[in-house]
Amino acid sequence: MVRVGCEALRRMTDRAQRSTELLFSFGVIADVQYADTEDGFNYTGTRQRYYRSSLDLLRSAIRDWNREAPPPVFVLQLGDIIDGCNSRQKTSARALRAVLAELTRCRCPVHHVWGNHEFYNFDRNELLTSALNSKHLGEDPTSGAAANDPEGFYSYHFSPFPKFRFVLTDTYDLSVLGRQNGSKKHQEALQTLREKNKNENLNSPIGLAEQNFVEFNGGFSREQLEWLNQVLTFSDNNQEKVTVVGHLPVHPNSTDPICVAWNYEKILSVLHAHQSVVCFISGHDHDGGYFLDEHGIHHLTFEGVIETPPNSQAFGTIYAHEDRMVLVGRGRVPNRILHYRKTGD
């Protein structure tokens, strides 16, 4: 009896030690929206935007990550890295060079997703051939969007540590932004948008029953939903813990509902069908947000750098343990403990 008790105690101690052990960490930053231009405001004039300072905040985030011990094994850049105003000012290439120069100082790989401001500045082919295409860091470089497929989507996955997987998704796959006029996806997106949004200005949410059907949002095509389903089935079968990443949030309780992906219900139903999914990380809503859904999936919307005063910060490091992830936020990003859902939830 005594020996069994000791053995049980040893197992409990082992488990407790294992659960506190850090497995790996990664950095997260959203909506830098850099432009070499005077400060301005959002569309409704309620929030200040610090276009030049955002580059300094990106630099200081990278400096902090580089100083961490142990260092983060990768960084997630959640999209909108340069602002759309660069396109009007014909400074897109220069602004991109400026942010990439900062990112090259980062001692770990940087994974990029694409937001609406990427498409205000560049077309899909330009993005696919730019340094913002980090697909070569994924495990399936040929899936999703072949470089020469104008209808493809930009998604991939990677496993930075045994039993953990990150899936980067393209929330502008079905969108009028970034799709060539007259292409199948552009036509489908425009039809969907016009059915839901009768305003002349398709960026306006005035009078909409579903506020998210505005031009600056998008969603997943059927092909991407199927691709995601396949990746998550693999992860379920291998008892992995999966974090899905996209520019747009997919749960209306984790964001201002105007910011959620068009077909978020379909995306959520894929996520909910897979017990491997533990977290969805997004940007887009500069105020940030968080929601733990009824399936135990954490929806984390990161505060945007662009609306962060120069004396503050907006980035985080997430520490992965066996039983939880711990977000240590800087500046406007709050700390959070994200316990993994129990199998069967």
Ligand X SMILES: Nc1ncnc2c1ncn2[C@@H]1O[C@H](COP(=O)(O)OP(=O)(O)O)[C@@H](O)[C@H]1O
Question: Minimum distance from CB of 102 to ligand X (Å)?
Answer: 20
Q: Which stretch binds ligand X (CB under 6 A): 186-194, 196-204, 287-295, 318-326?
A: 196-204
The span from the CA of 169 to the CA of 250, in Å, is: 11
Q: Which stretch binds ligand X (CB under 6 A): 198-206, 291-299, 309-317, 328-336?
A: 198-206
Q: Identify the residue among 129, 142, 203, 233 touching ligand X (CB under 6 A).
A: 203
Question: Minimum distance from CB of 10 to ligand X (Å)?
Answer: 53
Span 75-94, contacts to ligand X by CB under 6 A: 80, 84
Q: In 33-84, where does DSSP find H-type helix?
A: 53-67
Q: Which stretch binds ligand X (CB under 6 A): 14-22, 132-140, 203-211, 261-269?
A: 203-211
Q: Identify the residue among 201, 230, 238, 269 touching ligand X (CB under 6 A).
A: 201
Contact indicator for 261, 248 with CB cutoff of 8 Å: yes
List CB contacts of 101: < 8 A, sequence separation 6 or more: none
Q: Identify the residue among 164, 216, 264, 340 touching ligand X (CB under 6 A).
A: 216
Q: Which stretch binds ligand X (CB under 6 A): 19-27, 201-209, 219-227, 313-321?
A: 201-209
List CB contacts of 64: < 8 A, sequence separation 6 or more: 315, 330
324: Cα separation from own chain's centroid: 19
Lookup: tokens for 268: 């959520």
Question: Minimum distance from CB of 159 to ligand X (Å)?
Answer: 31
Three-class secondary structure of residue 183 per DSSP: coil
Q: Give all strands (DSSP E) within the chain, no chain letters.
A: 24-29, 40-41, 48-49, 74-77, 110-112, 156-161, 164-168, 241-245, 277-282, 289-292, 298-301, 314-320, 324-331, 336-339
The span from the CA of 81 to the CA of 339, in Å, is: 30
Question: Minimum distance from CB of 105 to ligand X (Å)?
Answer: 25
Q: Identify the residue among 204, 230, 253, 335 touching ligand X (CB under 6 A).
A: 204
The span from the CA of 53 to the CA of 49, in Å, is: 9
Question: Minimum distance from CB of 203 to ligand X (Å)?
Answer: 3
Contact indicator for 341, 297 with CB cutoff of 8 Å: yes
Q: Is 124 or 135 the residue whose CB approaches ligand X more closely? A: 124
Q: Is 242 or 314 the residue whose CB approaches ligand X more closely? A: 314
Contact indicator for 296, 272 with CB cutoff of 8 Å: no
Question: Minimum distance from CB of 30 to ligand X (Å)?
Answer: 11
48 binds ligand X (CB under 6 A): no
255 binds ligand X (CB under 6 A): no
Question: Minimum distance from CB of 116 to ligand X (Å)?
Answer: 5
Q: Is 117 or 165 the residue whose CB approaches ligand X more closely? A: 117
Residue found under tokens 């998210």: 212
42 binds ligand X (CB under 6 A): yes
Q: Which stretch binds ligand X (CB under 6 A): 12-20, 200-208, 217-225, 327-335?
A: 200-208
Question: Minimum distance from CB of 214 to ligand X (Å)?
Answer: 7
Q: Is 80 or 303 the residue whose CB approaches ligand X more closely? A: 80
List CB contacts of 81: < 8 A, sequence separation 6 or more: 32, 33, 34, 96, 99, 112, 117, 118, 132
116 binds ligand X (CB under 6 A): yes
Closest C-alpha to 114, from 50, 159, 192, 179: 179
Q: Where on the chain is the footprint of ligand X (CB under 6 A)?
A: 42-43, 80, 84, 116-117, 201, 203-205, 216
